[in-house]
Chain A
């Protein structure tokens, strides 16, 4: 009789095929175990995607501010950070002469004054205690210096937006609105925009009527949700003629040393804080660090539960196949062969879970993002969950490590069985 062909290299795929067939013998149990792993992986991938996406969104949002340093009224650094990026309702104001004092600083390349106020949307009766979505963020700007900081701001063209332009400085009834604000309010060039503004120190809101003279292209930043008007007009309507919200500053040389020098120089002004980009980034990252830690803890628990599930499933499978394993050993399987088979089955469950979990995370990224944004004001616009091939690669690697360790004990149990006893148990 002739022997089978020698072919060690062909053995691994056969072990994989046999392992896959073994797993299909208990499809419901296998599916549930894979589902457990996939949930853990999905949480981990979503968390990784959120960490990466959020940092990217912060970087983008801050870069799109156009300036490196801001001078604003002293207050909570978290509020300052979110105000920079999203506007805000707890606004603090600087004396307008701060601009005159600072603009002559030799390290400043350019500077723009900004006044931010919050108006109630048309028809809204909700006031300060209402959610921010009931408000419009009004930004009073000096167009030339503002566009000098943000040269990428362009006016939308096309049907309904033809003839769009920036308002003339001093015009009291013209506004330019950001892309999302225009979408939300269903406004085009030439339309009327109403804003109900409560002047400082006055009890009642005053309804103002504006003409939309331009709509901005999408920028993916806080500007998309903002309504712009001339700075002096905004200050007048909000009854804060001698106040500013922010001074946006671009330095000639921007580094830690220059920043420290500049900060030290202007901290002498009362009621002023100098905020650098890095500081804002750190603040925003800190804002979600606790949440991230909690989610990571949940993911870790999910991974541990999944690991226990995998070990349990494979152990049950080993016990059920005791006789079969004994037969395999009788047929010539070494300990290593049995170990390899059981271990591969564990690995396959984990890898299947990793792929399914990654798919779930990718598909569910939008939902996760909406959920996160609904739960917390993260102070950034644009996508905050970014699942990259690298993250999925790490997830698959992590699942493989999970399978590697999860499979050790069941595989060891199976490979240690004595064939005589194993065979007799199955009879």
Chain B
């Protein structure tokens, strides 16, 4: 049995908006193991990003229990959440979020600065090669395509050797072919590097490439599917989200 990296029970996240309480997430149970790729699907406002933020320790739950990499996270302060994230979680965002003045390799090495680690050029080159960008280490973001920028962002997430790779709409700004290549890379990282990959997506085709696909609606899980159970029509490429 592989290592259980994320385990959440009764996870809730409520917001106060004026006198109204918004239940962004209302009692969710999730568990994710090493080497597993899990996608979170659902329409806009269903709570996908909220769940991702909670499971990746960017936000704290209003209620429920959450254990990430062996640490109980519920009730931790902002500063304590940073400590949980450091070196355990790697992040990939829809907007790529690269620093425009840094080259590809400098962007990749950026998180090491925050972890007080000295960059290792050899290691950076390995990671860039892993994501298929070994020939562009000195390119600035503006000199790269969207897909290449997202690969730099993935390399940046991997440089800290995380146990969990979190990706929020990683293919949202990419064309179909490039998006497929990114999803293929995620699958490869989960299968070969043993990473737990957690991603949100509007694209059910990409979502169903995961080992498990969790579908949310109104802050609750309405469906949890295994690849073998996914209907052919979804595989054929009709977005269902």
- Interface residues in chain A, defined as those with a beta carbon under 8 Å from any beta carbon in chain B: 1-8, 10-11, 14-15, 18, 21-22, 24-25, 323-324, 327-335, 337, 418-420, 423, 426-427
- The answer to whether B82 touches A6, judged by C-beta atoms less than 8 angstroms apart, is no
What distance in Å separates the Cβ of A334 from its nearest Cβ neighbour in chain B? 5
Size category of the binding interface on chain B: 35 or more
B49 closest partner in A (C-beta): A424
Question: A25: which B residues are within 8 A, CB to CB?
Answer: 100-101
Interface string of B147-170 (1 = CB under 8 A from A): 000000000101111000000000
Question: A334: which B residues are within 8 A, CB to CB?
Answer: 79, 82, 114
What distance in Å separates the Cβ of A337 from its nearest Cβ neighbour in chain B? 5
A421 closest partner in B (C-beta): B59
Question: B93: which A residues are within 8 A, CB to CB?
Answer: 327, 423
B59 closest partner in A (C-beta): A420
- The answer to whether A4 touches B193, judged by C-beta atoms less than 8 angstroms apart, is no
Cα distance A330–B115 when bound, in Å? 12
Contacts A4-B123, A15-B113, A18-B113 known; list 7 others, CB within 8 Å. A3-B161, A4-B109, A4-B115, A7-B116, A10-B118, A332-B160, A423-B58
| Residue of B87, B117, B119 contacting most chain A CB atoms (<10 Å) | B117
Does residue B85 face the partner (Cβ distance < 8 Å to A)?
yes
User: Of A22, A331, A418, which is within 8 A of B78 by CB?
Assistant: A418
What distance in Å separates the Cβ of A419 from its nearest Cβ neighbour in chain B? 5
Cα distance A419–B93 when bound, in Å? 13
**Given A1-B193, A4-B123: A324 in contact with B97 (beta carbons within 8 A):** yes
- The answer to whether B161 touches A323, judged by C-beta atoms less than 8 angstroms apart, is no
Does residue B95 face the partner (Cβ distance < 8 Å to A)?
yes
- The answer to whether B116 touches A331, judged by C-beta atoms less than 8 angstroms apart, is no
- The answer to whether A5 touches B111, judged by C-beta atoms less than 8 angstroms apart, is no
Interface string of B42-76 (1 = CB under 8 A from A): 00000000000100101100000000000000000
Does residue B138 face the partner (Cβ distance < 8 Å to A)?
no
Cα distance A324–B153 when bound, in Å? 13
Cα distance A326–B194 when bound, in Å? 27
State which residues 102-157 of B face A: CB under 8 Å.
102, 109-120, 123, 156
Cα distance A21–B59 when bound, in Å? 30
- The answer to whether B95 touches A427, judged by C-beta atoms less than 8 angstroms apart, is yes
Cα distance A328–B98 when bound, in Å? 10
- The answer to whether B120 touches A331, judged by C-beta atoms less than 8 angstroms apart, is no
Question: A331: which B residues are within 8 A, CB to CB?
Answer: 91, 110-111, 114, 156, 160
Cα distance A230–B78 when bound, in Å? 90
- The answer to whether B118 touches A328, judged by C-beta atoms less than 8 angstroms apart, is no
